[in-house]
Every structure is written in C-alpha cells, then in structure tokens.
Amino acid sequence: MKKQSTAFVAVALLQTSIIIILFILGMIEAININGASLRIGIYGAVGFTLVTQIVLLFFAFVYNKPGYNGKLGILLIVFLFLLLAASIVSLSYTICSTEGANINNDGYKVFGIISTIFTWVLATIFLICTIVYAVRSK
C-alpha cells in the first residue's frame, strides 16, 4: 500500500471510530432527555468536521490513484457521501438547537435520535469498507 493510501486509511479509521463513539453517546443522550441537547449539538459539529476531513483526505490521497478502482472504490465513495449527508443532518440538529428553532421537545428528541442513528450506522458501514480497502490494498 502506498504511503498516501496508508495515511488516508489510518486517519479514516481513527476519525470514523471517534464519530461512531460520539454518535452512540449522542443517541443514548437523545433517548434519555426531553428537548434540545447542547452535547448532541457539539457531537454533530465535531462529526461534521471529522467527516469533512475524511472527504478531503479521500480526494487528496485515494481518488484516481493506483489501487482505487472497481466495486470497492465505488462503495467507498458512495458511503463516504452518504456519511457526509448524515453529518449534514446532524449539523442541522446543531443549528436548530442552538438557534432556537420552532421545534417542540418531542421533535428535538426524535430529531436527535434519528440523526445520531443515521450517522453512526453509516459511519460503521464506511469503517468496514475502509478496512476492506486497507486489506485489499496491501
């Protein structure tokens, strides 16, 4: 595996693991509270930042490089963009909760649960695809 691919895989594995942990904690908190939660908002902002870094690293170090081709490459890019979309949904929770959107407490609870589950499930799938990419690239 090239140094560039190794750098992407190492950072992607670390940051995706952090995203999964943050959003599982966020899901637990969203289930246990009523109303908006600042911590879930922080998790959403941090998650969006980490996913954006993974996207930039992917296009800088992996996309259109040797070893990136076929179905695995397509899976990586599809789940990367789905993860980016999920993190944007989580970021919208952050914006709504900090700016006082016209959402009742039950709405915030559902919004928090759905956005966190959506993000950590897609992050888990992306993590698996990244591990498979790392194994096949050796």
| Number of domains into which the chain is organized | 1
Q: Each residue of 58-71: pLDDT tens digit?
A: 888 777 766 666 78
pTM of the model: 0.82
Q: What is the pLDDT of residue 63?
A: 77
What range does the domain containing 8 cover?
3-137
Q: What is the pLDDT of residue 29?
A: 85
Q: What is the pLDDT of residue 64?
A: 72
Q: Each residue of 29-44: pLDDT tens digit?
A: 888 887 777 888 888 8
Token pair listed for 61: 């170090």
For residues 8 and 62, the answer to whether their CB atoms sit within 8 Å is yes
CA 22/CA 103 separation, integer angstroms: 23
Q: What is the pLDDT of residue 1?
A: 53
CA 92/CA 80 separation, integer angstroms: 18
Give 31: exposed, middle or buried? Use CB within 10 Å, 0-12, 13-18, 19+. Answer: exposed
Q: What is the pLDDT of residue 4?
A: 61
Q: How many CA within 13 A on the CB side of residue 106?
A: 0
Angstrom distances, CA of residue 6 to CA of 3, 72, 74, 122 = 5, 16, 19, 22
Q: What is the pLDDT of residue 96?
A: 85
Q: Each residue of 77-127: pLDDT tens digit?
A: 899 999 899 889 888 888 888 887 788 888 888 888 888 888 889 999 988
CA 49/CA 52 separation, integer angstroms: 5
CA 75/CA 108 separation, integer angstroms: 32
Q: What is the pLDDT of residue 66?
A: 65
